[in-house]
Chain A
């Protein structure tokens, strides 16, 4: 039975996994640098420009600093949970990138390799499930800190994430009604041959965008991260690389949310008004990946732009927005989409 395993396929997927994980880690690393630079430029100052040319080695310096710091584990019962928290956060952040179509096919060594690690036909559901698991990382970290303020911060983070998942899911249902499939690759192919989903679902995109901000704990919804910086927050008791993992997993989440939004609403690796079939497959794949990366960079810039513009919500305002405004809006969007589809199918 083992001898019939297609070793070439295994090797290909393994290489793809390594490349995707390292790329997402690398991009998240430079996102931390870009955050500081973009924050500086929006605030009339320059960012870090001393470590290496134009400050490009700054993330390396930050990573080294976190590695060399002293590792403090508080004196209480559950050391296992304390270390599990950031590990879970990082794991779920990296796992989401498995179902995203990064590009079209590549032809190497006589084989056709599709640039997607796992083309499951429940792609969107998988992404959702893994993002929900991300709550565990925060909750376990908050509980294991043995600190009431951390627990409060973690509870707020968890409730925020759970509340905004609902509106996100309902807006996705409206999208699902249009595309008829949950597989991310199918959605991209449909958008290549038709209109981008942003044209068909503008309100859905807006709701999804707001919920993505809340899921990543970014301003204006960054209560777990900032207000609790003054008191505590779920990462108070953490130091050195465990803290680094928490902070880093937030940036990976941001990156993956941008990619998912680009894939669902902006056509993924599709280049608009351009027919890719005229190019050789490898070149088309490279063009597609570049197009996707440009969209992702634009989204990440949007995340940062909004962060440095508006103040954060108070906790009750946040809950009010999530439950009493976004969910009815998403439901209305779903009904309107259903109505329009019925009308056009007649």
Chain B
């Protein structure tokens, strides 16, 4: 049968030479190689003191966004829930009342917004589907927990901190993400 490439090598079945039979020279060479590894740089990262750097498009935990004045962007349109392949998002809409203009950007807002982290696959389709730049995936991981109930994150868990009341936390949560131009 013809070989496909010319990379095949014939196995050498020669009996061991005297130097090879003594084992010791080969062992010594091996030990020198192992010794040199002591002085090489270790690639281990000391988590949790140091964390490995993520790329700007890393898909981690979801965050519900606000605009610069602190009003929630989300209008409970349901596009993220429909786009989600794992059906992890559920929401209930509510109408904005007269005195709540500083809280919500549009007349409809999400009264209840829940993401089931055990179902979420962090694909980012909800971020792609949202027309209001209201949800995006940040750089954090989901922390561990003991009960299944605790993994259903409600709106309070997901909202970004208020930019006026808590500017540094807001900036930190925005991360390296480029601001998306909204349609409004």
Residues in A lying within 8 Å of B, measured CB to CB: 41-46, 49, 305-306, 308-310
Contact = CB atoms under 8 A, between A and B. Distances in A.
Grouping DSSP codes into helix (H, G, I), strand (E, B) and loop, the B interface class, with mixed when no group exceeds half, is: helix
Given A44-B43, A45-B44, A46-B42, A305 B31 contact: yes
A305 B30 CA distance: 10
Given A42-B37, A42-B38, A43-B37, A309 B27 contact: yes
Nearest to B40: A44
Contacts of B34: 42, 305, 308-309
Nearest to B22: A325
B18 interface: no
B30 A309 contact: yes
Interface in B94-138: none
A307 B84 CA distance: 52
B35 interface: yes
A306 B42 contact: no
A306 B31 contact: yes
Contacts of A42: 34-35, 37-38
Contacts of B38: 41-42
B109 to A, nearest CB: 46
B37 A310 contact: no
A89 to B, nearest CB: 29
Interface string B22-60: 000001001101110110101110100000000000000
A45 B42 CA distance: 5
A310 B28 CA distance: 10
Contact of B42 (A44, A305, A308, A310): A44
A303 B157 CA distance: 54
Contacts of A41: 37-38
Grouping DSSP codes into helix (H, G, I), strand (E, B) and loop, the A interface class, with mixed when no group exceeds half, is: loop
Interface of B: 27, 30-31, 33-35, 37-38, 40, 42-44, 46
Contacts of B35: 42, 305
B28 to A, nearest CB: 10
Contacts of A308: 34
Contacts of B30: 309-310
A107 B40 CA distance: 47
A45 B41 CA distance: 9
B27 A310 contact: yes
Given A42-B35, A306-B27, 20 more contacts: A41-B37, A41-B38, A42-B37, A43-B37, A44-B37, A44-B40, A44-B43, A45-B43, A45-B44, A46-B44, A46-B46, A49-B46, A305-B35, A306-B31, A308-B34, A309-B27, A309-B31, A309-B33, A309-B34, A310-B27
A202 to B, nearest CB: 12
A46 B42 CA distance: 7
7 contacts: A42-B37, A42-B38, A44-B42, A45-B42, A49-B46, A305-B31, A306-B31
Top 3 A-B residue pairs of the complex, sorted by shortest distance between their CB atoms: A309-B34, A309-B30, A42-B34
A308 B30 CA distance: 10
Contacts of A45: 42-44
A197 B86 CA distance: 74
A42 B44 CA distance: 13
Nearest to B38: A41
B40 to A, nearest CB: 6
A42 B36 CA distance: 8
Contacts of B43: 44-45
Contacts of A49: 46
A43 B27 CA distance: 17
A45 B37 CA distance: 10
A309 B29 CA distance: 10
Contacts of A309: 27, 30-31, 33-34
A305 B42 CA distance: 18
A45 B38 CA distance: 9
Contacts of A306: 27, 31
Contacts of A43: 37
Nearest to A321: B23
A43 B38 CA distance: 8
Contacts of A44: 37, 40, 42-43
